[in-house]
């Protein structure tokens, strides 16, 4: 568990509150949320050591060639009436 703070454009602060390892402690473990900061608006997302080739963003210009999208509905949030 950690507290993550971000201020545009590149100020990141993470405070680790607790960490727990279950099972074999030699396996892959990723305990820092700050290492997973990425921008979905970039066409290719580089996650460093997790993947060698990077990942195509779901909102990339060419994402329709890589993902299959399914419409699952919509919701509309209406403004609450003002109380006088």
- pLDDT tens digit sequence for 8-59: 887 888 888 877 777 666 655 566 666 666 777 888 888 776 677 888 989 8
Q: ∠ at Cα 61 (40, 72), nearest 5°?
A: 70
pLDDT at 30: 62
Residue 3 DSSP SS3? strand
Query: Residue 80: how many CB atoms within 10 A of its CB?
Result: 6
The first and second tokens of residue 68, run together, are: 């299959």
Distance set, CA 34 to CA 4, 24, 52, 81 (Å): 7, 24, 19, 40
């Amino acid at each position: 568990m950690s507290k993550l703070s971000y201020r545009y454009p590149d100020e990141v602060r993470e405070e680790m509150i607790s960490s727990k390892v279950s099972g074999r402690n030699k396996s892959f473990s990723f305990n820092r949320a700050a290492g997973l900061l990425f921008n979905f608006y970039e066409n290719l997302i580089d996650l460093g050591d997790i993947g060698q080739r990077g990942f195509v963003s779901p909102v990339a210009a060419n994402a329709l060639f890589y993902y299959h999208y399914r419409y699952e509905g919509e919701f509309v949030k209406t403004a609450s009436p003002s109380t006088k």
